Amino acid sequence: MLIDPTTPHPFAQYVAILGRGKTKQRHLTQEEARASMRMILDGQVLPEQIGAYLMLLRLKEEAPEEIAGFALATRDTLELPASLPRVDLDWSSYAGKRIQLPWFVLSVMVLVAQGTRVVMHGTEGHTAGRLYTRVIIEMLGMPVAGTLIEAATQVDARGFSYVPLEVMSPKLRSLIELRPIFGLRSPVHSFTRMINPFSAPAMMQGIFHRGFMDIHSGAARLLNQPRAAVFRGEGGEIERRPNKPTQVWMTLGSDEPIIENWPQILDDAHQPADEDMNPTRLTEVWAGRDTEPYAVASITGTLAVALRTMGRADSVDEAEAMARQMWNARDRDFLPIR
């Protein structure tokens, strides 16, 4: 691209807003965030500008208005089917696991086996040494979509689809892969969780840093998401840690968040890291041949939060009891395990 030194680049205004220094810099408005991210997704921005923009956002820390605007810009670019499928729950998975296996996948499978329609989306490979969800989904024989149209067909047929980030947005996948170049995560790691491609009425969010609770819940309110929950999950995924208390921020549309403190499930607060991280253990736990307490408590605890988020339980205690009953009654033949 030829650069005219006498004419500012159209994207330069957004870098300037973020980089004017401590006294003059400010957050982008939701519309500024939406417009600037749309320029990036449409290929109208220079690589140098993208790097400066993302790292200035990272240094400043994202605001709810920015996360909401970025998510809306991405939704604007999605190649969706003419008729959207019914999806009950949107479940994002971008962090990967390195200390415990992704037990939350079995929480999702319990829901799907009993009729809840779930779309999961995520990516893999951006951080070394992690086990990513797509590997587990493929191992369990569940569908992975090559297009959003195919994802809609899979949801109608199987009640579930895993949509890789590059299927929704190849550009965002390339931006996430900049992490080893920057040495830091960027806001892309935050707002991709909120894309919700099929406008599911309930959306689950897992974060690693406690400081992002208000950012994600605030963005959900700005997006007028009917039901959403965010909590600090194991490894940054949507997975309740049964050996620790869990604070869950739940939002209903644009209302103020409901903050609930979920109790510790297991008496022993210490849980050693899984040295093997052997994914076939998930199949053993699903089949009932492995009943290790941490695994089962993680599955039912995460399932309980999902039930509460979807409005299927009116209290923490009711959600916990319902989750245990659903796990015990699961169809062990549901998964076409490979």
Q: Round to whole Å and give the CA distance between 220 and 68.
A: 7
CA 155 to chain centre: 18
Q: Round to whole Å and give the CA distance between 191 and 212.
A: 11
Q: What is the mean pLDDT of the chain?
A: 94
Residues 6 or more apart in contact with residue 268 via CB below 8 angstroms: 243
Per-domain residue ranges of the chain: 12-77, 89-328
Which numeric CATH code is attached to 89-328?
A: 3.40.1030.10
CA 85 to chain centre: 20
- Please state, as a whole number, how many other Cβ atoms lie within 10 Å of the Cβ of residue 161: 29
Q: Quick one: tokens of 236? A: 């940054």
> From 1.20.970.10, 3.40.50.2300, 3.40.50.620, 1.10.3720.10, which CATH number describes the 12-77 domain?
1.20.970.10
pLDDT in tens, 233-243: 999 999 999 99
pLDDT in tens, 144-191: 999 999 999 999 999 999 999 999 999 999 999 988 888 888 889 899
Query: What pLDDT is recorded for position 183?
Result: 84
pTM: 0.94
Q: Quick one: tokens of 99? A: 């200390």
Q: Quick one: tokens of 147? A: 């297009």
Residues 54/186, Cβ–Cβ less than 8 Å: yes
